[in-house]
């Protein structure tokens, strides 16, 4: 694993290793002393071409807890706003000695381009690209589910046998795509629930089921329900007219108190944030005891620490350094 | 917890020489347990932290003997923990990335306690240096001591053990294999050719 570009690229073993490493990282974050030394002297660049506060500070916290230096590069007010190309930006970062690039971009495939173009040697981590992928979000969601649903036996396990609903704007959601890929790899059964207008063409080929009826899906008592954010600009006819009105969307696809009770008290309520309270999720559901939405944020730091550690801490085999097999002997 | 560590293979006879058998290991462990109690005037302030993988099992064995010899009727987890040192190693960048093992500390923490680090083999001393860093992230013990089953020499840092099962003169071209029944179906320490693995 050189880069983390897509949840689809991860094998079951790689995904479980990341989740297990995240568990170890999360345990260190319970301590008074949260800073760890493995990335001392490494520089992580957060290259954000699209606004994001949560993901950026989560990556920034993760890198700093591992003692890496962090450079934040956002498109606004930078050379990009003066028309610099992705290639020139990448080569500038390379010249400055970046050891890893965390990239968010509005264009699907930008991280892949960066990783495979030869413009830059450093590992590339996709922090969300267009409508394509957001692999660390899927990993933190899987971590959160595994922790709650497996409990004491979480280490080393996958999500085989669990049923997960992903509800809302699948069409525009990289979170949904990444989650379907990763949850399928980990053995969970995913059902997407959305109005037909908010499902992409070709969704029938995805490794999941599709339903238009949230009440029926909830009645099947899934183990977790993940509500996707509805982007407000999609509501008006100017934004594409994907649904007639917020009220109608909320009534048919929102998680309200009645559906929360129909789910039962053991189902996890998840949301990648930021939430539109009263639209896709009611305050009652968002603040309920079974909601793990804030825990998802906490786990995001641990998962990103794990990804940075696994991509950056080991020997750099690109340079032809000999890499003896992994041994745990006392030396 | 030990999923990443396969049992240590037993090579064909002749390639290795067994220097400690199960009885030797049991006696050495018992002696070290008594020495820990003697040195620290009891065991009420002592915390044993085993370094994964085999140090963690040795720490549990030592802990059981310390509680028995000191006639204390408390759960083993109040005395024994494990300390993962992976994130503090100085050779992280020279090897493929390592899996992280869990760290568990007795509920009372380690502040103002006597921490006894437990490992199977003391060699270069680099593992112990990493462990000292890892300990200081967990708290501020009153004192830190080191117990090892085998000291094979060849130190690369100014570190020595307080409690040693056996001093084993070796050449750097040999390797020392500690096998413990919890993982390897047998208790023994053997020397073989082939250098550090």
pTM of the model: 0.90
Nearest CA in chain B to A311: B97
Q: What is the structure's pLDDT at A241?
A: 79
Residue-wise pLDDT tens digits, B42-90: 999 999 999 999 999 999 999 999 999 999 999 999 999 999 999 999 9
Q: How large is the average pLDDT for residues B134-142?
A: 95
CATH number for the domain including B183? 3.40.50.2020
Q: What is the structure's pLDDT at A236?
A: 64
Who's near B44: CB < 8 A, 6+ residues apart?
B72
A102 pLDDT higher than 90: yes
CA distances from B183 to B7, B48, B101, B179 (A): 6, 20, 15, 7
Q: What is the structure's pLDDT at B3?
A: 47
- Does B62 fall in a domain? yes
Q: Strands of A69-74's sheet, edge to edge?
A: A69-74, A43-48, A100-105, A124-129
A156: chain B residues, CB-CB within 8 Å: 3
Q: How large is the average pLDDT for residues B173-190?
A: 94
- Does B26 fall in a domain? yes
- Does B10 fall in a domain? no
Query: Which has the higher per-residue pLDDT, A52 or A287?
Result: A287
Chain A, residues 143-172, CB within 8 A of chain B, namely: 155-156
Q: What is the structure's pLDDT at B188?
A: 96
* CA angle A261–A299–A165, rounded 5-degree value: 35
Residue-wise pLDDT tens digits, A178-194: 999 999 999 999 999 99
CB contact under 8 A, B52 and A313: no
Q: Does the beta carbon of B99 lie under 8 angstroms from any beta carbon of chain A? A: yes
- Catalytic pick from A31, A53, A82, A328? A82
Residue-wise pLDDT tens digits, A138-159: 999 999 999 999 998 899 999 9
| Domains with residue ranges and CATH for chain A | 7-134+300-315 (3.40.50.1370), 135-294 (3.40.50.1370)
- Catalytic pick from A3, A56, A132, A134? A134
Q: Does the beta carbon of A314 lie under 8 angstroms from any beta carbon of chain B? A: yes
Dihedral, A305, A310, A313, A314 alpha carbons, nearest 10: 170
Q: Does the beta carbon of A325 lie under 8 angstroms from any beta carbon of chain B? A: yes
- Does B8 fall in a domain? no
B154: chain A residues, CB-CB within 8 Å: none
The domain of B90 spans 19-193
What is the value of ipTM here, to two decimals?
Answer: 0.84
- Does B78 fall in a domain? yes
Our count of domains for chain B comes to: 1
């Amino acid at each position: 694993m050189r880069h983390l570009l897509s949840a689809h690229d991860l094998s079951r073993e790689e995904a479980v290793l990341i989740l297990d490493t995240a568990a170890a990282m999360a345990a260190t974050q319970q301590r008074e002393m949260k800073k760890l030394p493995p990335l001392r002297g490494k520089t992580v660049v957060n290259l954000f071409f699209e606004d994001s506060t949560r993901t950026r500070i989560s990556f920034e916290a993760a890198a700093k807890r591992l003692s890496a230096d962090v450079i934040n590069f956002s498109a606004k007010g930078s050379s990009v706003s003066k028309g610099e190309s992705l290639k020139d930006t990448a080569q500038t970062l390379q010249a400055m000695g970046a050891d890893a690039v965390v990239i968010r971009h509005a264009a699907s495939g930008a991280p892949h381009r960066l990783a495979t173009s030869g413009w830059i040697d450093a590992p590339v981590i996709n922090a969300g690209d267009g409508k394509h992928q957001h692999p660390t979000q899927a990993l933190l969601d899987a971590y959160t589910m595994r922790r709650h649903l497996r409990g004491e036996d979480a280490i080393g396990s996958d999500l085989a046998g669990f049923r997960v609903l992903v509800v809302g704007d699948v069409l525009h959601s990289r979170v949904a795509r990444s989650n379907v890929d990763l949850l399928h790899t980990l053995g969970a059964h995913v059902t997407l629930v959305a109005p037909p207008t908010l499902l992409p063409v070709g969704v029938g080929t995805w490794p999941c089921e599709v339903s238009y009826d949230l009440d029926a899906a909830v009645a099947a008592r899934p183990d977790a329900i993940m509500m996707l954010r509805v982007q407000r600009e999609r509501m008006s006819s100017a934004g594409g007219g994907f649904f007639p009105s917020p009220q109608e969307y909320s009534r048919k696809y929102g998680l309200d108190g009645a559906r929360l009770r129909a789910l039962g008290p053991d189902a996890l309520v998840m949301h990648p944030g930021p939430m539109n309270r009263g639209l896709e999720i009611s305050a009652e559901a968002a603040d309920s005891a079974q909601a793990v939405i804030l825990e998802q944020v906490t786990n995001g730091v641990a998962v990103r620490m794990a990804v940075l550690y696994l991509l950056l801490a080991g020997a750099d085999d690109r340079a032809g350094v000999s890499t003896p097999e992994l041994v745990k002997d006392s030396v | 917890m030990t999923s990443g560590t396969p049992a240590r293979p037993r090579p064909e006879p002749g390639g290795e020489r067994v220097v400690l058998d199960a009885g030797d290991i049991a006696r050495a462990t018992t002696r070290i347990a008594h020495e820990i109690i003697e040195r620290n005037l009891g065991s009420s302030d002592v915390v044993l932290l085993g370094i994964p993988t085999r140090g963690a099992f040795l720490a549990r064995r030592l802990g059981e003997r310390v509680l028995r010899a000191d006639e204390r009727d408390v759960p083993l987890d109040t005395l024994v923990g494990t300390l993962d040192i992976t994130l503090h190693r100085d050779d992280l960048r020279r090897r493929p990335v390592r899996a992280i093992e869990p760290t568990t500390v007795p509920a009372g923490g380690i502040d103002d306690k006597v921490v006894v680090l437990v490992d199977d083999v003391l060699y270069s001393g680099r593992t112990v240096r990493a462990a000292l860093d890892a300990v200081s992230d967990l708290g501020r013990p009153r004192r830190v001591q080191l117990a090892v089953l085998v000291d094979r020499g060849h130190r690369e840092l100014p570190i020595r053990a307080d409690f040693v099962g056996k001093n084993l003169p070796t050449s750097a071209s040999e390797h020392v294999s500690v096998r413990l029944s919890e993982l390897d179906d047998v208790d023994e320490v053997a020397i073989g050719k082939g250098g550090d693995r």
